[in-house]
Structure 1
Amino acid sequence: MATIAGSLMRSLGAVAQSMAQAAPTALRGVSQGLAARVTPSGATWTPQTTSVRHRYHADKLERGPLMKNYGYEEKLHTKGMLPHIVHGKRLPIPMYRPRNCWSEKRALFGQNDYIDILGDRSLKPTDVSYSVPHWLRGFKGNEYQMLLRKRKLFHAQMSRYQPTKLTQLNKRIRKLYVHLNQKTRDYYWHKA
Structure 2
Amino acid sequence: MVGRTPRVPHRVISVDAAPTDQPPPDSKEWLDIIRNQVDGNEAPFLNGLNRWLKVSWSDPSSDLLGVTRFEMDPNELMRRRRMQAPSGPVCIELHPILVDDPALLAHTFVHELLHAVGLTDHDNRHASLTEMIAPAPSLADSPVLMRLRSEVLDGQEIQGWTCTNCGTSWKRTTVSRPKRCPRCARSTVIPHEASSDDDIEKGS
Q: Which has the higher helix share?
A: 1
Greater relative contact order structure (CA < 8 Å, 6+ sep) = 2
Q: Structure 1 or 2: larger strand share? A: 2
Same fold (TM over 0.5): no
TM range (shorter): under 0.3
Larger Rg: 1
